[in-house]
Structure 1
Amino acid sequence: MSLKYVTFNVVDGIARVTLDRPDKLNALNYQMFCEIRRVQKMIRRDANIHAVILSGAGGHFSSGLDVRSVMKQPLQAVKLLFKWLPGNANLAQQVSLGWQRLPVPVIAVIHGHCYGGGMQIALGADMRYASQDADFSIMEAKWGLVPDMAGLVALRSLLPRDKALELTLTADIIQAEDAQTLGLITRVSADPMADAIQMATRLMHTSPDAAAAIKASIHRSWSASVRTLLARESWYQIRLLLGKNSRIAALRQTREPDKPWHPRQNGW
């Protein structure tokens, strides 16, 4: 499958991923979902990639799901939502959760609209840098839908429950400064792309194996019990100290994200 709606290139160890359907404000059709997932898998397999910058073409990140496009072909909706087990991630959820499960830091650069499915994808990034004109909405309730693209995985660690409910139930559009005050985004910047490139370059000077372990530890232990957190920290540290820290052998295994994480099976 060639890439039509997502552009992907790697320069000096930094992967640039761009949602590229500007005539539709980067609204997500079925092919975009497939292409995002394909790019995530390509990044996982490439040990030369040390950071990812995720953005949207044409002045907007993404206006959300292209409902009309998807519903024109009901089979596409089925493919987006299908999963073998309830606890697995379907394709719609993988395009958000997949960024968290990469062994490299992912920075979302957000201009203009970041609504609905676009917001869910941005929540999958490790950091979100936004322009001053960016606006945000968890918009699914406006269309009578439940946010079902796994954005809640990140949202529950970013916002208090009442604020998350307020934003999700009202589908309100909020400006970048308010989103930063809430903790929804990392920073507001006059030039978020330049800031993202600067951060990605800084990350290139740290150990990629330590970065992979730190990211895995934080994402998997953030809501875990103290005992689980302590055990996981010790396990990662021992792996690093013993030199058994290859991202290729460990976190870069071609592993379906739906499968339970087990250190003996996955090297970490």
Structure 2
Amino acid sequence: MSESTRISCTVTDGVADVRLNRPDKLNALDPEMFRALVDTGLRLNDDPGVRAVVLSGEGRGFCAGLDFAAMAKFSEGSNTRDLTADQPIGPAKARGQQAAYVWNHLRVPVIAALHGVSYGGGLQIALGADIRLTAADARMSVMEIKWGIVPDMTGTQLLPELVGRDVAKELTFTGRVVSGEQAAQLGLATRVEQDPHAAALALAAEIAGKSPEAVRESKRLLDMAGRVDLATGFDAEQDSIGQLFGTPNQVEAVTANMEKRDPVFTDPA
């Protein structure tokens, strides 16, 4: 499965391996990359055979952020459709926001594997993932302040959830670069791995071996936390558990555990 020259995507045993594929430009974001990210995410969301996603970058880094040279040429007369979203993805209306939020929007877990640089828009795309595995020497920055602008790809809303409001402000106001080790300490990354991509694929395979409906519902419920009141969240838990009990995959999970064998789950309709 491949969406464009900007993104490569293969699906194996329920795991989608998605790679930003512009290594000569450190996977910098241009209109085609924005469009490819959104299109790839939406297609994966519609694929019932996908149970987990790994998001990474080819070459020397994850993503260096906005390609200012390409965007300058674009603004001089290219087709504005490339930056205009056809329809909202949840609350995300702008194409740049959708390129990051589409990974949060996916019903299945998304694991970002970070190495080299994740700057500006590149970091915001990583924030859209559910889990971030990073190399110790990776470098991350909320870089927009350097250019006199603000993070406008969902970063101002998602970053405080991870690191706290005060740390999010400090990183955004200064644009300071943090290492992968520091990112893990701050909560910007989940943990440090020697080989983030290999670790992400292994984790995705483990998740893909669990009941797909239970994983999807777990992601949905956890994403509600802190965004809805407790009564709404508690009610959602009870609705989910009621819907899962007695389904074929839930019965298979119990049966496989009792028989001490690996479960064999079917993909959701």
Normalising by the residue count of structure 2, what TM-score does the alignment of the two structures yield? 0.85
2:111 matched to which residue of 1?
107
Alignment of 1:145-164 (within 5 A): 145-164=149-168
Structure 1 counterpart of 2:135, from 131, 136, 152: 131
Partner Cα separation in structure 2 for residue 248 and residue 101 of structure 1: 17
* Kept in 2: contact 1:221–1:228 (CA 8 A): no
* Kept in 2: contact 1:97–1:151 (CA 8 A): no
- The code of the aligned residue for 1:183 comes to G
* Kept in 2: contact 1:53–1:106 (CA 8 A): yes
Asked if 1:239 is matched to 2:232, the reply is no
Asked if 1:3 is matched to 2:4, the reply is yes
Q: Quote how far apart the aligned CAs of 1:214 are.
A: 0.5
3-state SS of 2:209 partner: coil
* Kept in 1: contact 2:19–2:57 (CA 8 A): yes
3-state SS of 1:129 partner: strand
- The code of the aligned residue for 1:191 comes to D
Alignment identity in percent?
Answer: 39
Q: Larger deviation: 199-208 or 29-38?
A: 199-208
Asked if 1:25 is matched to 2:29, the reply is no
Q: Quote how far apart the aligned CAs of 1:243 are.
A: 3.5
Alignment of 1:44-55 (within 5 A): 44-55=45-56
Aligned residues: 248
Q: Quote how far apart the aligned CAs of 1:223 are.
A: 2.6
3-state SS of 1:73 partner: helix
* Kept in 1: contact 2:213–2:268 (CA 8 A): no
- The code of the aligned residue for 1:163 comes to V
- The code of the aligned residue for 2:28 comes to A
Q: Larger deviation: 71-80 or 211-220?
A: 71-80
Normalising by the residue count of structure 1, what TM-score does the alignment of the two structures yield? 0.86
2:36 matched to which residue of 1?
35
Following TM superposition, the consecutive aligned residue runs of length 4 or more in structure 1 with deviations greater than 3 angstroms are 75-79, 81-85, 242-249
The CA RMSD measured in Å over matched residues stands at: 2.2
3-state SS of 1:62 partner: coil
Partner Cα separation in structure 1 for residue 81 and residue 43 of structure 2: 25
Q: Quote how far apart the aligned CAs of 1:247 are.
A: 7.6
Cα deviation 1:199-235 (Å, max 9, x = unaligned): 1111122111000001011112333211121121122
Alignment of 1:1-268 (within 5 A): 3-74=4-75, 79-80=82-83, 88-241=92-245, 243=247
* Kept in 2: contact 1:81–1:90 (CA 8 A): yes
- The code of the aligned residue for 1:144 comes to G
3-state SS of 2:54 partner: strand
- The code of the aligned residue for 2:69 comes to R
Partner Cα separation in structure 1 for residue 5 and residue 126 of structure 2: 20
- Do the aligned partners of residues 248 and 145 (structure 1) sit closer, same or farther apart at CA in structure 2, a change above 3 Å counting? farther
Structure of larger gyration radius: 2
Q: Quote how far apart the aligned CAs of 1:68 are.
A: 1.7
3-state SS of 1:108 partner: strand
1:263 matched to which residue of 2?
none
Q: Larger deviation: 209-218 or 189-198?
A: 189-198
* Kept in 2: contact 1:71–1:77 (CA 8 A): no
